[in-house]
Amino acid sequence: MTSLFRKTFIIIIFITFSSNRAKSQTTGNYIKASIGYGSSSSYYIENYGSQDELDVMGGGLYLQGEYVVGIKSWYSLRAYAGAIFESVDKNQNVQNQPLYKVTTNAFLMGGKVRICAPIPWVAPFIEGGIGASIGKFETFTPNVNFNKSTVLLHIPFSIGLAVGRHKSLEIGISGYFHPTAKQSTGVFAVGYTFPID
């Protein structure tokens, strides 16, 4: 136990001293472009635990652009705009059953904040915020029937890594939660940041 405590203490000291020289993201203004795969699912797994358990999902292309204002090396504000286009593969094995589906085809916009760990070459980050989605939302499951073209509130949340000497390349997982439509969209995306100052 003493060895574990000693190693943890040494790692904390190393990170503390190296963070003064390393910047996980620099201050200034940037543009970030991202592309990835998005998948929407219902808040509920239908018939959970039974043989008829059903996890209804849709998937497709995700695109997003961000205007980044770096305030500190570890903190930034981000305005974003993007889009997600999803569809559902028809299951040919299910006969005489309704086609359950969860899809999002919408334009996304909003604001979020990012907090980074100031570690050289690889900076883990976490983001959160609030936004709006404009488009068509379908959540058709045995317990939910939501099918509207409307404007909905969404809550974005992301975790990921900014990598490279200047932390320009990013790999991350994001979630967009739509409480009204009883669905969430998970995204795996890569992004690249361009300085504009």
Query: Could you read off the pLDDT of 108-154 as tens digits, one per residue?
Result: 999 999 999 888 888 899 999 999 999 999 888 777 888 899 999 99
Q: Find out whether 106 and 85 touch, Cβ atoms under 8 Å.
A: no
Please state the pTM of the whole predicted model.
0.76
How many CB atoms lie under 10 A from the CB of residue 132? 13
Q: Find out whether 141 and 56 touch, Cβ atoms under 8 Å.
A: yes
**43-47, 147-151, 166-170, 184-188: least confidently modelled range:** 43-47
